[in-house]
Amino acid sequence: MNFFKRNFSIAIIPLLVVAWGIFTYLFYDPFYSKSVDPEFPYLINGLNCAILKFNYIGHIDHPGTPFQVFIGLVIRITHLLSGKGNIAQDVFARPEYYLNAISNSMFIIQALLIFAVGFIGFKRKIPFWQIAILQASCFFNDVLMWFFCRVNPDRFFMIIGLIFILIYLKHGYENRSARKFALWSGVAMAIGLATKFNFLPLLILPLLFVDTNKNRLIYIGSGIVSFFVFIAPIINKFGDFRRFIEGIFKHDGLYGGGEANVLNYRKMMESASEIFRLNPELFVLIAALIVLIVIAIRKRQEGIKGFVFLFAGFLFIIALQMLMVSKHFKDYYLIPVFIIYGFMFFSISLFLSKIMVKKSQVILGSFILPVLFIYYTASWAKHDYIPISKLIGQRVKIKDFVDTEIAKTDFWFVEPTWEGAPYVENALIYGLSYCGHRIDYLPQLMEVNPNIITYEGNPNEVKLWRGAPVKLDSVVSTGKNIHIYSTPDRHASVLLQMVKDAAGRNNFQLSVDTIYSDSETKHEIIRVKALNSSSGWKPGYVQANDRQSKINEFIEAIKNSPEWLEQVKAKAIQKNISLDSMIMLDAIYMTDTEK
């Protein structure tokens, strides 16, 4: 095969990956509308990494650190090429722009790695049809396909899986360099485990190819050292991560919730049934591996017995992954197994080439499972397309209403939640919930939108952007529209009652209207507005139209008064927050208490 044909052939699947990535980018609605969790916590903590504020990282559950650092790098590069002003200000002002940059960079990197798999595969003189099986891994499961629209650690596993395949082809294939394979596999697997704990079963994979105790120790040692290197930015919070994992292990609910029950057999059986319902190809793979083990045991020729151990190892990885997922079920938690489908098919093709004489038979036998899995993927993707399109249409409808009918100067009263909403500030609030020292970002957030107030789980406590406390009475008294987004899982009635109570305390009439309602989704937007009070009550702080300008006046006054500025500096040091944030807090306080 000449140079041009070789490079064109190994570029086909990477180009398909790019094409699918572009399709999902154009097909889906904004991240803040469709998928807030964990996209926005990772975006905010990626920003923390980008500005080297590692002590600000507040999301450590996965722990997720390598992915956060990756996001930080993409944020830095994107800001360098097309940033507008301060990097934090730009991320808060254009979160969708940065999330799209991160998402697009992932499928571009994935395509490049897939091309590299083909390039190294040809250097190892592997036939193109076997290389294609390795390259096509992301097309063997519909979850992987639809995850091209996400920015989360599970999607990052696709990149880590390709890195492992490259290490295998360069050092592990035909036992080319066992020591280097053990060393670098430890590094790759550590990235996966540090990214998310459900990667754990794949740590077994390299051990299926390492055949000496010395190399096993090298693999384990490099993995342990690398893991702690990769979580170094949150090493002082490792105890919190450990407690989170212990909570998951000891309880039968998601994220360490539910009852204190290590093994809820009834729930696990239900989850296992759901796994096979959503992934019928997994049952086929398990059956095929069992049949291949029996065949390998019966064969007595040289070089076959090792496949018994290999296929049994694949089965163990699948079983362990299913056990973990059945305890806390979400279908995409199986992604670590999904990403090695191609690698398993490639290994099966190597086995078939050992026991079959005719090349045509080997190729035909090797493509049975890949073709079947692609059929399943296409069938499920076709099945999912219509309901996904319907959901997108519903979200776009309410988003367009918000964009056209709700003024930027209106207030949003936000309940921090993982659910998406038709306005981006809701998503930013959720992301900030997983950010340490978030009050330091208040100046930038107030520049984005000064009219965001948040419910803090306490009817007597309201804050600006989950940062500075603010009096709800003062917000109501401005006479501005206050909007509350209501969905079945939100507590909109609680927020509405808080506004009513604030109006009642000050003898205001309150106008309450449902300005948007979707009977199918039960999503509503409630508009609340205080009308003129007959009591003649006057607030002791500035009225709505002057509030932000008054805050700005106090900020300038603080900065231009050396004595006042020194007092604010001392308070900033005492509270361990930035000077700008402390100035903002003092300015808000002075505005709301001025007589």
Q: 10 Å Cβ neighbour count for 243?
A: 11
Mean of pLDDT values over 472-501: 92
If asked whether residues 209 and 244 sit together in one domain, one would say yes
What 3-state class would DSSP assign to 20? helix
Q: What distance separates the 2 farthest-apart alpha carbons in the chain?
A: 98
Angle between helices 424-432 and 39-50 (to 10 degrees): 60
**Judgement on whether residues 296 and 415 belong to the same structural domain of the protein:** no
For 566-587, what is the mean pLDDT? Answer: 76
Residue 463 has phi, psi (to 5 degrees) of -135, 160
Number of CB atoms found within 10 A of residue 469's CB: 13
pLDDT in tens, 70-102: 999 999 999 999 999 889 999 999 999 999 999
Distance, CA of 554 to CA of 566 (rounded, Å) = 15
Position 397 in a domain: no
361 shares its domain with 416:
no
| Contacts for 255-259: CB closer than 8 Å, 24+ residues apart | 255/61, 255/328
In a domain, 373, yes or no: yes
- The contacts of residue 438 (CB under 8 Å, 6+ apart) are 56, 58, 432, 465, 466, 467
With tokens 């996001």, the residue in question is 71
At residue 244 the predicted structure's pLDDT band, cuts being 50, 70 and 90, is confident
| Residue 536 scores a pLDDT above 80 | no
The reported pLDDT for the residue numbered 255 is 66
What pLDDT is recorded for position 323?
Answer: 93
pLDDT at 175: 78
Indicate if 60 and 116 belong to the same structural domain.
Answer: yes
DSSP strands (E only) in 197-325: none
Q: For residue 595, what pLDDT is reported? A: 45
| Residue 314 sits in the same domain as residue 432 | no
- Do 376 and 415 lie in a common domain? no
The SS3 assignment for 33 reads helix
The residue type found at 17 is V
- The pLDDT, as a whole number, for residue 542 is 39
Answer yes or no: is 499 within a domain. yes
Domain limit, last residue, from 338, 353, 384: 384
pLDDT of amino acid 560: 78
Give the span between the Cα atoms of 139 and 193, in whole angstroms: 23
> Is 259 inside any structural domain?
yes
Contacts of 195 (CB under 8 A, 6+ apart): 62, 64, 65, 66, 67, 153, 156, 157, 160
- Report the DSSP beta bridge partners of residue 469: 463
| Any domain includes 176 | yes
Report how far residue 509's alpha carbon sits from residue 499's, in angstroms, rounded to the nearest whole number: 11
Q: What is the pLDDT of residue 88?
A: 93
Q: Residue 71: what residue type? A: I
* Stretch 441-459: mean pLDDT: 90
Question: Is residue 526 over pLDDT 60?
Answer: yes
In a domain, 173, yes or no: yes
Q: What is the pLDDT of residue 132?
A: 96
User: Which domain does 275 fall in, by range?
Assistant: 3-384
% residues pLDDT > 70 (the chain): 93
pLDDT band at 287 (very low <50, low <70, confident <90, very high): very high
157 and 190 assigned to the same domain: yes
SS3 sequence of 97-138:
HHHHHHHHHHHHHHHHHHHHHHHHHHHCCCCHHHHHHHHCHH
The tally of domains found in the chain comes to: 2
Cα first-last separation, the chain = 84
Backbone dihedral angles phi then psi of residue 355, each to the nearest 5 degrees: -105, -10
Report how far residue 96's alpha carbon sits from residue 35's, in angstroms, rounded to the nearest whole number: 11
Q: Are residues 570 and 450 in the same domain?
A: yes
Tens of pLDDT, residue by residue over 100-133, are: 999 999 999 999 999 999 999 999 999 999 999 9
Which pLDDT belongs to residue 248? 75
* 301 has pLDDT over 80: no
pLDDT at 36 over 70: yes
Say yes or no: 446 and 339 in one domain. Answer: no
Instruction: Give pTM, 2 decimals.
Output: 0.89
**Looking at the structure, do residues 506 and 376 belong to the same domain, yes or no?**
no
Residues 194 and 181 sit within 8 Å (Cβ to Cβ): no
| pLDDT over threshold 50, residue 545 | no
User: Per residue in 176-235, pLDDT tens?
Assistant: 889 999 999 999 999 999 999 999 999 999 999 998 999 999 999 999 999 999 999 999
Give the end of a domain, one of 352, 384, 416. 384
From the list 589, 500, 467, 584, the residue with the least C-alpha distance to 540 is 589
Residue 27 has pLDDT above 90, yes or no: yes
In this structure, are residues 523 and 486 in contact, taking their beta carbons and an 8 Å threshold? yes
Q: Which residue has the higher pLDDT, 249 or 336?
A: 336
Sign of the dihedral through C-alpha 466, 468, 473, 479: negative
Residue 539, pLDDT > 50, answer no
Residue 181 in domain: yes
pLDDT of amino acid 532: 64
Residues 370, 424, single domain; the answer is no
Whether residues 418 and 344 share a domain: the answer is no
Q: Residue 3: what pLDDT?
A: 58
Q: Is 461 helix (H, G, I), strand (E, B) or coil?
A: coil
What is the average pLDDT value for the chain, to the nearest integer?
A: 89
Smallest CA-to-CA distance from 156 within 328, 332, 314 is with 332
Q: Is residue 391 part of a domain?
A: no
Write out pLDDT tens, residues 355-375: 888 989 999 999 999 999 999
